[in-house]
Amino acid sequence: MEQKVKIGIIGLGQRGMATVERYAAIHEAEIIAVSDLIEGNTERARQELLRQGHTNVSIHYGEHSWRALCQHPEIQLVLICTDWSSHTRMAVNAMQQGKDVAIEVPAATSVEECWQLVHTALETGRRCTMLENCCYDTFHLGVMQMKAQGLFGEINYCEGAYIHDLRSDQGWMSYTVSDHKGNPYPTHGLGPACQLLDINHTDRLVSLVSMSATNKINNTLIQTALGRSILLQFDERTPRPYSRMQTLCATKAYVQKYPLPTLQFDGEPLLTGTEAELRVESYHDALTRQLIEEGRRMKVTNLMNYIMDRRLITAVLQGKPFDISVYDAALWSSVTELSALSVQLGNKPVAIPDFTQSN
């Protein structure tokens, strides 16, 4: 019989409902349980699952109902799409119940929570990842292949950001962001930059310095053990055009995605816009090409989510490590607290823990 990954989803708000729709459409996945605080949200999810032909779904609502979902004996993978405050608590419990977990961004809100994720994954032998979809951006995937082919020479510096005008948003995220002193949402910018610098493999993040302007624009500079650096920006409060920067400076080339896709090989003509994008994406590997084609055929609204989801389901089915390890999830999320600490200390450097050294 064909194997399917049995999934439970906790948190059925904006992102959680979109997650239900995405995974319900994946042939190798089967959502068998959902949980939310609010009964109406579980009902909406049930209707959507029915519409997509999934009839056998356990419904859990209420504040503690997620614990029952984590105990469901058939669930292999728990997807956590609640607000930030509950991510780690839920992920730890799910792993202790023998489930693999995938947590929305950021996976944790403090260094202490980051360690909890790492320790629980090691103690239980479960896989824990973060749903950092920007690591599956089609431009970034092309750049990663160019790096694998050695086209950049030495990469010394990267920039990443989350610049998104969300001034009209009045939900929990805007309140949490306005109380935060540093960069509350670092992983969209930091994840791709860390992958380009092989962080947690051949290099590691060692310290950061962070500075926030009165309008909450945050700049964080991160130093690596090999003397390379990352600039990370956060701005949700100005009319600035959307950007995640995705900039890389290397000895043989310069590449950026935002605000204008740009590719400059040393000594060659400058490529910008569609020309740069097409060139970068011409380096995609066969699997990425296949997933992009599939996604386009299925008319998915967001290719990076589709690539991420399909790769995650395949890794669960094949018992392979997840692309984004628990160490990556912990490290990238830890900048949430550490950037605020640096700001509060008057922009002093703050050490970044090495989560791979967990003994």
Contacting residues toward ligand NAD, per CB under 6 A: 10-16, 35-38, 41, 63, 66, 81-84, 86, 104-105, 133, 171-172
Kindly tell me which of 2 and 63 has the beta carbon lying closer to ligand NAD: 63
Pick between residue 38 and residue 345 the one whose CB is nearest to ligand NAD: 38
What does the alpha-carbon distance between residue 176 and residue 351 come to, in Å, rounded to a whole number? 24
CB of 131 to ligand NAD, least distance (A): 6
Minimum separation from the CB atom of position 317 to ligand NAD (A): 23
**Least CB distance to ligand NAD at residue 18 (A):** 8
Contacts of 233 (CB under 8 A, 6+ apart): 159, 160, 161, 162, 163, 189, 217, 218, 219, 220, 245
Of 174 and 358, the one with the shorter C-beta distance to ligand NAD is 174
| Min CB(89)–ligand NAD separation in Å | 9
In the chain, the N- to C-terminal Cα span, in Å, equals 42
Q: Using CB atoms, what's the residue nearest to ligand NAD?
A: 13
Kindly tell me which of 11 and 353 has the beta carbon lying closer to ligand NAD: 11
Residues 6+ apart with CB under 8 A from 287: none
Nearer to ligand NAD, 30 or 236 (CB): 236
For ligand NAD, the closer of residues 63 and 268 by Cβ is 63
Q: How far is the CB of 133 from ligand NAD (least distance, A)?
A: 5
CB of 312 to ligand NAD, least distance (A): 13
The CA-CA-CA angle for residues 183, 186, 187, to 5°, reads 170
Based on CB atoms, which residue is closest to ligand NAD, 75 or 253?
Answer: 75
Say how far apart CA 95 and CA 316 lie, in whole Å: 14
Least separation, in Å, of the C-beta of 33 and ligand NAD? 12
